[in-house]
Amino acid sequence: MITPSTKELMDISQSKYAVVVAVAKEARKLSEDKKNDENYRLSSMVTEALEEILSSKITIVYK
């Protein structure tokens, strides 16, 4: 995966912090689901979470 630019991330949300929190929450969820997988790597979970957010599978909602 090519690292997304800050501009791409700011198109998703107006806050960099919100993007970081969303990626971290999704990566944690993915890592819990795949914890027993022999190919488990946390960095791959973060990459997968970032890809999901960039492809709009996950949206950031403000409360």
Torsion over CA of 39, 42, 44 and 45, rounded to 10 degrees?
A: 110
Give me the pLDDT at residue 1, please. Answer: 63
Tokens 């979970």, residue located: 45
pLDDT tens by residue, 4-24: 777 887 788 888 888 889 989
Q: In the chain, which ranges are E strands?
A: none
Where are the chain's structural domains? 6-54
The C-alpha atoms of residue 12 and residue 54 are separated, in whole angstroms, by 7
- Residue 25: the pLDDT is 92
Average pLDDT over residues 35-52: 78
pTM, whole model, 2 decimals? 0.76
Q: What is the mean pLDDT of the chain?
A: 82
Report which residue type is found at 25: K
